[in-house]
Amino acid sequence: MNERTRLFDLAGQPPVIQLLISFLIVIFAGTLVFYLFVIAGSLIFEKDISEMLSLSPALILQNESILKYIQASQQIALFVIPSFLIANLLKRSEKSFLKIDKLPGSIPLFLVIILALLMLPVTSYTGMLNSRMSLPGWLSGAEQWMRTKENEASDLTELLIKSSGIGGLMINVFILAIIPAIAEEMVFRGVLQQILCRIFRSGHIAIWITAIFFSAIHFQFFGFLPRLLLGLSFGYLFFWTGNLWITIIAHFVNNAIPVIISHFILWTNLNNKASDIAEKQILLPLVPALLSIGILYYFWHEHRNNIMGKV
């Protein structure tokens, strides 16, 4: 351990260097591990490696399991494994850099689950407003590209979310809720936000930059606003609690509920129903929004009391 630290002490480097090295680890280590997953997948599904990577519509329709395998592999390879590598290089003590060594208490756990449920109608309403975004005429090409990306993402989600039986539902919850919640929170809140806090010496700036990047990387620009709100909520929860499990649980609930509902209602019908409700019941998200603010205030107040108690 000491020898490794002398050879490459990332924790002792300036925060900007930490960010750059972390980015390189995500790109190179993540790509390498992903290709290993692809090779393994080619053996499992008896497909050529090039065919596995192409994800042609014919292949997807022939075997949706390949699409789900690739989706899970990308999350684990590009987010989970690099995050562990980075955290191991950055930690200075036996405490986890990612802040996953301590489970949350029963009250914070209960409140964060309620918060995630309350955020669903809020994000549905803001998503409806965001979908009406229209760019100036001279940006029509960019708008068309953005809408194409939005439609592709929606079609991909519809393919991923298909399930039959309780077994199919459990697989979808694992691939679309559990893995993304752990993977994305580790890399965005656990790694990126903490390094940005060191760079800017401001939790607020770090939270906002991370939330913007978190939303933009999904390449669903007509869903940018609701993801930004989620990113901000997760960011402040992590900043105030110092516990990544809090945001992982919130992220999981936010993803799992639509997956479970869509098992009984088609994904397109779920989207249409959510849009119709959001459009006709304009005041419906107001109460959940106010309750969400109240829960966030509780976490802020607890954080403030902890700081005052240490002074």
Together in a domain, 168 and 233? yes
Together in a domain, 92 and 118? no
Q: What is the DSSP letter of 212?
A: H
Together in a domain, 3 and 79? yes
Q: Give the residue among 23, 16, 27, 24 at the shortest CA–CA distance from 196.
A: 16
Together in a domain, 263 and 178? yes
Of 64, 97, 130, the last residue of a domain is 97
Mean residue pLDDT across the chain:
84
Together in a domain, 125 and 89? no
Q: How many domains does the chain have?
A: 2
Of 54, 81, 97, the last residue of a domain is 97
Return d(Cα 92, Cα 221) in angstroms, integer. 38
Region of 242 please: left (phi>0), alpha (psi -120 to 50) or beta. Answer: left
What single letter denotes the amino acid at residue 284? L
Mean pLDDT on 50-74: 73
Of 97, 125, 145, the last residue of a domain is 97
Structural domain that includes position 11: 1-97
pLDDT > 70 fraction of the chain, expressed in percent and rounded: 81
Number of CB atoms found within 10 A of residue 109's CB? 15
Return d(Cα 120, Cα 136) in angstroms, integer. 30
Together in a domain, 5 and 123? no
Q: Give the residue among 146, 176, 170 at the shortest CA–CA distance from 158.
A: 176
pLDDT band of 269, cuts 50, 70, 90:
low
